[in-house]
Amino acid sequence: MYDTFNGSAHPRSPREIAIAAMPGDERVWVPQAEGVWFRPLFLNTLQGQWCNLLRVRRAGILSRHLHPQPVHGYVIKGRWHYLEHDWVAETGSYVFEPPGEIHTLTVPADCEEMITFFNISGCMVYLDEANRQVGFEDVFTKIDMCRRHYEKVGLGADYIEQFIR
């Protein structure tokens, strides 16, 4: 047993997180693009990793991207697919996205809303059709986006702190 304490967690263990993933307060959703939001759940600065919900209320191509580390997804609502694959991720689907794959996230026209939980390591590298990098996101750009949004909507910039380890 650990020898430094008598409680239920080691004193150097990070705090746990247990929250409503989809609370009634719309302000937790951070706008990402037209018709696209994310809801941060866990922002891991030690391993460069984050968990969030992605919510999309528009159809068509969202992004073409590469991630050099693995991504795990679980579809909570709606459906989506990658142009490069013939499968469709729909409500209840689990998806593993291998490191090094380039794919183009697309929501079909008959899907009014999709919500997917993503566990993303490393970064998202956004690419154009010629595979030239046009942007990137990592846990730190996510934190910055959240801080700006939560300050603007009145939750306060520090609202994001509860999700950061």
Chain residues in the site for Fe ion (CB under 5 A): 97
Question: Least distance to Fe ion from the beta carbon of 17, Å?
Answer: 23
Residue nearest to Fe ion (CB): 97
Shortest distance, CB of residue 9 to Fe ion, whole angstroms? 34
Query: Which residue number, 142 or 150, has a Cβ lying nearer to Fe ion?
Result: 142
> Which of residues 9 and 134 has its CB atom nearest to Fe ion in the complex?
134
Q: Which of 148, 138, 156 is nearest to 52 (CA)?
A: 138
Q: Alpha carbon of 70 to those of 35, 38, 48, 51, 132: distances in Å?
A: 25, 19, 12, 12, 21
In whole angstroms, what is the distance from residue 73 CA to residue 88 CA? Answer: 13
Nearer residue to Fe ion within complex by CB, 44 or 69: 69
Q: How far is the CB of 49 from Fe ion (least distance, A)?
A: 14
Q: How far is the CB of 65 from Fe ion (least distance, A)?
A: 6
Nearer to Fe ion, 97 or 151 (CB): 97
Tell me the β-bridge partners of 81. Answer: 106
Q: CB of residue 46 vs Fe ion: minimum separation in angstroms? A: 22
Amino acid at 49: Q
Cα Dmax for the chain: 58
With respect to Fe ion, which residue has the nearer C-beta, 30 or 62? Answer: 62
In angstroms, the CA 10 to CA 73 distance is 30
Of 59, 61, 60, 105, which is closest to residue 84 (Cα–Cα)?
105
